[in-house]
Amino acid sequence: MDAAGIGVWEYDHVTDRIAWSPALCALLGYGAAQVPPNLAAWLDLIHPDDLPGLQARIAAALASDSPLYAAEYRLRAADGRWIWIDARGRVAQRDGRGGPC
């Protein structure tokens, strides 16, 4: 994915930590130390017009019967520009009650 320039991010629901791939950092112009450390900081980078719809999609993806997360939204790059993001993913691991890990 790095070779294709596809940025990847992962969110750990248990520790509230976010990790970005080097390709995503490069795409958005952030250094590794500037990556938002948690969900609240990442949500602060979302365009205000896109935030309500994105939060609804996130909530739907967290439901135990949801197989896939898909969303398009604008994310603020390090230089202040808005970059359109086409995100796809799923909850990779769930706890014994079906909650996301």
Is 34's pLDDT higher than 90?
A: yes
Domain spanning 9-89, CATH class: alpha beta
Domain boundaries along the sequence of the chain: 9-89
Give 50-100 pLDDT, tens digit per residue.
Answer: 999 999 888 887 776 767 778 999 999 999 999 999 988 777 777 778 777
- 3-state SS of the chain? CCCCCCCCEEEECCCCEEEECHHHHHHHCCCHHHCCCCHHHHHCCECCCCHHHHHHHHHHHHCCCCCCEEEEEEEECCCCCEEEEEEEECCCCECCCCCEC
pTM of the model: 0.81
